[in-house]
């Protein structure tokens, strides 16, 4: 079960992972082959 504060990775249909460039201060891209620190997101309440 996914809840707030869980860390997740997002994988696109072509198998690449979502990355937030510049620690989240720049572009969001889907071009990483492996999920590492920059490809991990924390769920927060809106």
Q: Encode the chain (46 residues) as per-residue pLDDT tens digits.
A: 889 999 999 999 999 999 988 877 889 999 999 998 889 999 998 8
User: Does the predicted TM-score (pTM) go above 0.75?
Assistant: yes
**Closest to 19 measured CA to CA, from 41, 4, 3:** 41
Task: State residue 22's pLDDT score.
Answer: 82
Do 39 and 24 form a contact (C-beta atoms < 8 A)? no
Task: State residue 31's pLDDT score.
Answer: 96
Task: State residue 23's pLDDT score.
Answer: 75
Output the CA torsion 22→44→35→26 (10° steps). Answer: -20
Task: State residue 35's pLDDT score.
Answer: 94
Query: Exposed, middle or buried by CB within 10 Å (0-12, 13-18, 19+), for 36?
Result: exposed
């Amino acid at each position: 079960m996914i809840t707030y504060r869980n860390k997740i990775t997002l994988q696109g249909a072509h198998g690449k992972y979502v990355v937030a460039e510049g620690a989240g201060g720049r572009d969001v891209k889907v071009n990483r082959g492996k999920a590492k620190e920059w490809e991990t997101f924390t769920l927060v309440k809106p």
